[in-house]
Amino acid sequence: MESVTLSSGHSMPLVGLGCWKIEGNVAKETIRTAIKLGYRHFDCAADYGNEAEIGAALQEAIAEGDVTRKDLFITSKLWNTHHAKEHVQEAIERTLSDLRLDYVDLYLIHFPLAMKYVPVTEKYPPGAQMDENGLPQMAKVPIQETWQAMEGLVDAGLARSIGVANFNCILITDLMTYARIPPAVDQVESHPYLVQPVLRRLLSRYNIHMTAYSPFGYPSYQVLGVPFDSKNFLELDLVQEIGARYGKTPAQVALRWNVQKGCSVVPKTVTPSRLTENMSIFDFKLTDEEVSAIDALDKQVRFNNVGLPFVWNSPLFD
Ligand SMILES: NC(=O)c1ccc[n+]([C@@H]2O[C@H](COP(=O)([O-])OP(=O)(O)OC[C@H]3O[C@@H](n4cnc5c(N)ncnc54)[C@H](OP(=O)(O)O)[C@@H]3O)[C@@H](O)[C@H]2O)c1
């Protein structure tokens, strides 16, 4: 597995297992299988509601000698309800306790949105509290305060690297004006229907590594009922034909495309054959023409859109 060295000096494998929507009852088995197959990077979050099961799997894998802690790269994310400086520590302590770890390799601000605080003892994961108008209850916490608390986690040894997710060019540029520790990573939605050329360039200028989430586009959102009336890119002749040239699947082409553009990828699957498929992307290389042809599929479609629940009544926050 190839890796990238982050600005923090730590190394991160270019393929990680995305853990959103891995149900608790299959999480342990999926993580154990993934480790046996060679996965070392796991993309977790408090909001995914499965860190306790993942922690049990990690502990078992370490105890049985499949892997050591230092071989693993574990990411988790600060949920929106815990942005205030006095709540950031509570959030990471719960995550570390669930994951049965002393530190995470990477801790990300999950969204640039501060929501009303919910103690972990009251509701966990907290999700979003809606008001009577169906709007999320927010909190007045500037991102600068949250970032300073994140920097404190590095100082305290609880996170090796810190970063952000869902930050656009404006938010990154602002963050860089005050960051004592610059973000090592911006994790954003990225696939052939959302290419984000400008954000990619900006992140590269700031030496912030981009991780691509939802690299297969629509399937992750189809199950949530998000409307979309086009063919997903995995079904397009172009992507299938490119894959056929290398004996690779459309999914492998989509992952390889992101990696060749300088990203790491965190595809999610609970299907053992796909675990192997999704990490087998380092034995072929797309030509520049193939990369450009896939770039040209861009529709600027963002499936993970916090605005969607307000125009369509199936809150993504749940
Ligand atoms: N920071 C953020 O705000 C944020 C937001 C969204 C996601 N993420 C992270 O990114 C990860 C990945 O994104 P995602 O879960 O939204 O979607 P994804 O990885 O793009 O797609 C997952 C879907 O694709 C299917 N799949 C997996 N491998 C496949 C293959 N080789 N061929 C065909 N289908 C395949 C999976 O089915 P099966 O599982 O049934 O195989 C599942 O339905 C998440 O799990 C999470 O860790 C972060």
User: Sorting pLDDT into bands at 50, 70 and 90, what band is 310?
Assistant: low
Nearest-CA residue for ligand 1 atom 27 is 269
DSSP letter (8 states) at residue 282: S
In this structure, is residue 77 part of a structural domain? yes
Provide the phi-psi class of 127: left if phi over 0, else alpha when psi is between -120 and 50, else beta.
left
CB atoms within 10 A of CB 61: 21
In this structure, is residue 101 part of a structural domain? yes
Contact between 317 and 136 (Cβ < 8 Å): yes
d(CA 110, CA 16): 17
In this structure, is residue 180 part of a structural domain? yes
Q: Mean pLDDT over residues 274-298, rounded?
A: 98
Exposed e or buried b per residue across 239-272, where buried means at least 16 C-beta atoms within 10 angstroms of its C-beta: beebbeebebbbbbbbbbbbbbbebbbbbbbbee
- Indicate if 103 belongs to the active site: no
In this structure, is residue 261 part of a structural domain? yes
Nearest-CA residue for ligand 1 atom 36 is 269
Between residues 55 and 315, the one the model is more confident about:
55
Q: Mean pLDDT over residues 297-317, rounded?
A: 70
User: Sorting pLDDT into bands at 50, 70 and 90, what band is 307?
Assistant: low
We report the CATH number of the domain holding residue 211 as 3.20.20.100
d(CA 304, CA 219): 12
Host domain of residue 268:
3-301
The pLDDT score that the predictor gives to residue 308 is: 58
CB atoms within 10 A of CB 222: 13
Listing DSSP states for 77-126 in one string gives: EE-GGG-SHHHHHHHHHHHHHHHT-S-EEEEEE--S--B----TTTSSS-
Q: What is the pLDDT of residues 18-64, one digit of tens each?
A: 999 999 889 999 999 999 999 999 999 999 999 999 999 999 999 99
The pLDDT score that the predictor gives to residue 315 is: 46
Phi, psi (degrees; rounded to nearest 5) at 206? -90, 5
Q: What percent of the chain has pLDDT over 90?
A: 89
Q: How many independent structural domains does the chain possess?
A: 1
How far, in Å, are 18, 120, 198, 238, 277 from residue 232 at the CA level? Answer: 20, 38, 23, 12, 19
In this structure, is residue 124 part of a structural domain? yes
Centre of ligand 1 to C-alpha 9, Å, is: 28
Which range is least confidently modeled, 90-99, 199-208, 221-230? 221-230
Q: Mean pLDDT over residues 284-301, rounded?
A: 97
Q: Mean pLDDT over residues 140-159, rounded?
A: 98
d(CA 111, CA 138): 13
Q: Mean pLDDT over residues 179-205, rounded?
A: 98
* Burial of residue 75, with CB atoms counted within 10 A of its CB: 0-12 exposed, 13-18 middle, 19 or more buried: buried
Pocket test for ligand 1, best of 19, 220, 248 (most atoms within 8 A of CB): 220
In this structure, is residue 312 part of a structural domain? no
Q: Is 187 helix (H, G, I), strand (E, B) or coil?
A: strand
Nearest-CA residue for ligand 1 atom 41 is 269
The pLDDT score that the predictor gives to residue 24 is: 87
In this structure, is residue 314 part of a structural domain? no
Cα angle: 144, vertex 81, 22; to 5 degrees: 115
User: Sorting pLDDT into bands at 50, 70 and 90, what band is 318?
Assistant: very low
The pLDDT score that the predictor gives to residue 313 is: 52
User: Sorting pLDDT into bands at 50, 70 and 90, what band is 239?
Assistant: very high
pTM score? 0.96
User: Is residue 316 over pLDDT 60?
Assistant: no
